Chain A
């Protein structure tokens, strides 16, 4: 399985932008980049995903490097509610038995008031 590397932890201040990096140097052409987050005492929740182009949704933006070996999740204005563990995951787009979401340790984001 293709692996991702994320910092163990990051800190941010409320209402400031946050850039969460993820390295995936062994990504294959069929791998999608997914981001999930897990708030304290809750199940993970989907944030965003992309293949090659940058993506935006109401929660965040995903910036994907041109060579696809790294990506950055961008929270435009962090709130206290964004404090969570953020997981960067590669998912094989071919589906079937190739499909898995393999969660690593993620990045623990702390948001300071």
Chain B
């Protein structure tokens, strides 16, 4: 199994631009999680899905952030418009129900 796949691995953009991060979970997993990691705030859960349905999005910082899971093999996290304070490493993780989570390699986002 290839594990959780995230793309792009690195993204540099300018303030105000739209950013889309992508995640392919491990085949057969039905739960998907989006996290953000910064030095100041550590690792934070943004949103998670179970069977493609958002269960808890209380960690999404504001309306500029949105996440979708159109099917069991794909999810996106979109930031529009992006701001410098959104610079962070964004991790996607998947699991079977609420068992151990498998994390992807992360997307390092830099907003100038």
Q: Chain A 27-62 against B: per-residue CB contact (8 Å), 1 yes, 0 no?
A: 000000010101000111110010000000000000
Task: Name the CB-closest residue of A to B91.
Answer: A43
Interface of A is mostly: loop
Interface size class of A (residues with CB under 8 A): 20 to 34
CB neighbours (8 Å) of A38 from chain B are 43
Q: How many interface contacts (CB-CB < 8 Å) are there between A and B?
A: 51
**Of B4, B45, B97, which one neighbours A102 at CB under 8 angstroms?**
B45
**Count, chain B residues at interface, CB 8 A:** 22
A68 in the interface (beta carbon within 8 A):
no
Q: Is the CB of B105 within 8 A of A100?
A: no
Chain B CB within 8 A of A113 CB: no
Check if B42 sits within 8 Å of A43, measured CB to CB.
no
Interface of B is mostly: strand
Counting CB contacts under 8 A, is B25 at the interface?
Answer: no
- Report B85 CB to chain A, min CB distance, Å: 20
Q: Which residues of B contact A87 (CB under 8 A)?
A: 43
Verify if A3 is at the interface (C-beta below 8 Å from B). Answer: no
Cα(A91)–Cα(B31), bound, Å: 15
Chain A 64-105: CB-based contact to B (< 8 A → 1; otherwise 0): 000000000000000000000001000101011101111111
Q: A97-B56, A100-B56 are in contact. Are A44 and B97 (CB under 8 A)?
A: no
| A99-B48, A99-B56, A101-B33 given; 6 more Cβ-contact pairs under 8 Å | A36-B101, A43-B106, A44-B91, A49-B100, A101-B101, A105-B42
> B interface vs A, CB < 8 Å?
4, 33, 35, 42-45, 48, 50, 55-56, 91, 93, 97-98, 100-106
